[in-house]
Copies of this chain bind each other. A is one copy, B any other.
């Protein structure tokens, strides 16, 4: 311990850093939470998701669903008819994460005005400087 105490703070920060990164890697991507938000309304087919999300490519929808399935947050239900039918739904754990995300949306909802105002103020300050 070469003279710490003043610079490095609470060691628990380091511990939590790892899992923090994990969640963020999980939900921080472009589509995962959007898919989960839709599935929180109930089971949906692949094509339903594709149309509902609008802007997502087939590639990304598939990749997103796969990784959600891989992590046990979404379940894939295949009905081997012709044409095939595949439904997706949240697992119980997926629902809990969806709940957390909703809390985050709540925060955004509550503070969006503040953030936008701060942003505008900052930008005009910058322009004044430039």
Contact A28 B19 (CB under 8 A): no
A118 → chain B closest CB, angstroms = 3
Across the interface, which residues of B come within 8 angstroms of A130, CB to CB?
none
Shortest Cβ distance from residue A56 to the other chain B in the assembled complex, whole angstroms: 12
Residues of B within 8 A of A10 (CB): 41
Count of this chain's copies in the oligomeric assembly: 2
With A16-B37, A27-B28, A70-B122 given, is the CB distance from A52 to B9 under 8 Å?
yes
Identity of the chain B residue whose Cβ is nearest the Cβ of A111 in the assembled complex: B93
Interface size range of chain A in the complex: 35 or more
Secondary structure call for the A interface: helix
Task: State the CA gap A121–B96 with chains docked (Å).
Answer: 21
A binding-site residues for B, Cβ under 8 Å: 7-10, 13, 16-17, 19-24, 26-29, 33-34, 37-38, 41-42, 44, 47-48, 51-52, 69-73, 93, 96-97, 100-101, 103-105, 107-109, 111-112, 114-115, 117-119, 121-123
Q: A7-B47, A20-B34, A71-B122 provided; 17 other pairs, C-beta below 8 A?
A: A7-B51, A9-B42, A9-B44, A9-B48, A13-B37, A13-B38, A16-B37, A16-B105, A16-B109, A19-B109, A23-B104, A24-B28, A70-B123, A71-B118, A71-B119, A93-B111, A100-B103
